[in-house]
Amino acid sequence: MYEDELQKYANDILMSENFKSMRDFIQHGNMSVQEHCISVAKTSLAIRDKYNIDCNTRDLIRGALLHDYFLYDWHKNDKLSPHRLHGFFHPGRALRNAKKEYYLSSRQEDIIIKHMWPLTVVPPMCREAWIVTMADKYCSFLETVRIQKGVIHTGKIHGKNFKNRN
């Protein structure tokens, strides 16, 4: 569900090498960061539909897909890049990485930089960012308690098959 909308608004992101590289990083449980971001985008669309929220679908999808675009393994600490404060700093890193490759609207920037609210203290400023921060927490909970399993150990692709796995 929602694959068509994801491909319509963000096929360039889904097909990019950097986005595909996120399948090598674990997010929670056995979910890769790539699967997590796709899952958050789909859940954001489901929230939009369930509550009939009038919002910008393109910004919602692109912001959700890029919200964790930090591009490192946050479970591995090393001297060059200690990730102990990953929770606080990864939104800024994701925003910088995303800006290098894509034009970001102000809504997309707000989604990425505020998705860890309330850690960010300053709350989201648009409804798209509120939706993604809620979707992210919901998906993270399901992944952490392993209700939602990833492809890493199961050999299956979460949800429907995405062409960007190739």
Q: Considering the complex, state which of residue 91 and residue 107 has its C-beta at the smaller distance from Fe ion.
A: 91
Q: Please report how close the Cβ of residue 5 comes to Fe ion at its closest, in angstroms.
A: 19
Q: Which is nearer to Fe ion, 1 or 119 (CB)?
A: 119
Q: What track of x and - describes contact with Fe ion for positions 29 through 48 (by CB under 5 A)? A: --------------------
Q: How far is the CB of 59 from Fe ion (least distance, A)?
A: 17
Residue with Cβ nearer Fe ion (41 or 52): 41
> Measuring CA to CA, how many Å separate 13 from each of 1, 2, 109?
18, 15, 15
Name the maximum alpha-carbon separation found in the chain: 47
Q: Are 108 and 66 in contact (CB under 8 A)?
A: yes
For the CB of residue 69, give the shortest distance to Fe ion in the complex, in Å: 9
Torsions phi, psi for 32 (to 5 deg): -75, 160
- Smallest distance, Fe ion to C-beta of residue 166, A: 24
CB 44 within 8 Å of CB 136 = no
Q: Is 68 in the site for Fe ion (CB under 5 A)?
A: yes
Binding status of residue 110 toward Fe ion by CB under 5 A: no
| Binding positions for Fe ion, 131-160, rule CB under 5 A | 136
Residues that bind Fe ion (CB under 5 A): 68, 136
